[in-house]
Amino acid sequence: MASQIGAPDATYGFIGLGNMGFGMAKNVRQKIPSSSKMIVCELVTSQRDEFCKTVEGDIETAETPKELAEKCDIIISSLPNGKAVKIVYLDSSTGILAGCSKDSQKLVLETSTIEASTSLEVRKAVEEALPSSEFLDAPVSGGIPPAHAGTLTFMVGGSKDVFEKAKPVMATMGKSENLILCGGPGAGLATKQINNYIAYCSYVALCEGMNTGLKFGLDPKTLNDVINASSGQCWNSLHMNPVKGVIPNSSASRDFKPGFTVELAQGVTRQMTKLMEEVGAKSMFGPVMDDIWARAVENPLCKAQESRSIYRLFSEDNGQHLGKVKIE
């Protein structure tokens, strides 16, 4: 059956079936034409096997990005960090570029949340090695449930022509109205880093507010309802209140398991502080955020837990796990 949203009939390659990539790849396979082939590449074989077992459609596996690139017209990558992206694309033995001839015509969507400078380095290598191919930095926002639901937001950096060409592919994974061209190369990632930083800063404020309310004796559900009807409303107060029982589907309701870990959150926060340094932007919250995450990744209350578990640093042991960061 042909795709209702116009995804082209082609051979699709998807690299990275982790927390986000699994749901994204599932939606690609479900929404592209049934005649299209999908090839997946994932280092964790149990994750790869689970994908092949549970997702219907024509799916093959590749042992390396090189093998995948040799067979695919459209390549999508969803990887945990910049180091992994560089290996996947640039490794001379196993990387994507090693599997492409100079006249290859690939459409490449790099959806990982990494440093803009790393993405620009990879883009330059792709453009030099494959002048007939097209590359977009296209990080996503929304979290794991929207990745599975196919309702992500895409923040895209690149040319308008390539963006328009790629929209039907991105629409298999995200809302068509939330596919946003943010500017030229790197702009998608810069936008994503700013968005992530604002979200985590507002979450820290929410943690402080909810903890204060509980200590005062306020009902947490009523407090959150008032916040959401007032000027304190934010994405986290709507979807991820840190107090268990306030929002049924929040990470707190699962005792902060599983999900986007504090280690990954530390990484994306550092991406933003690095970006601010690179462009010479003044920062006041940056040192505070760096300090919170540095403590979280070492503290058993949060280590390897979902990122919003940092609430425990505020609510347990009278906040003794947090330090005092003073901005001069």
**Which residue in the list 26, 192, 244, 282 is annotated as catalytic?**
192
Let me know if 160 is a catalytic residue: no
Q: What is the 3-state secondary structure (H, E, C) of the chain?
A: CCCCCCCCCCEEEEECCCCCHHHHHHHHHHHCCCCCEEEEECCCHHHHHHHHHHCCCCEEECCCHHHHHHHCCEEEECCCCHHHHHHHHHCCCCCCHHHCCCCCCCEEEECCCCCHHHHHHHHHHHHHHCCCCEEEECCEECCHHHHHHCCEEEEEECCHHHHHHHHHHHCCCEEEEEEEEEECCCHHHHHHHHHHHHHHHHHHHHHHHHHHHHHHCCCHHHHHHHHHCCCCCCHHHHHCCCCCCCCCCCHHHHCCCCCCEHHHHHHHHHHHHHHHHHHCCCCCCHHHHHHHHHHHCCCCCCCCCEHHHHHHHHHCHHHCCCCCCCCC
Active site residues: 192
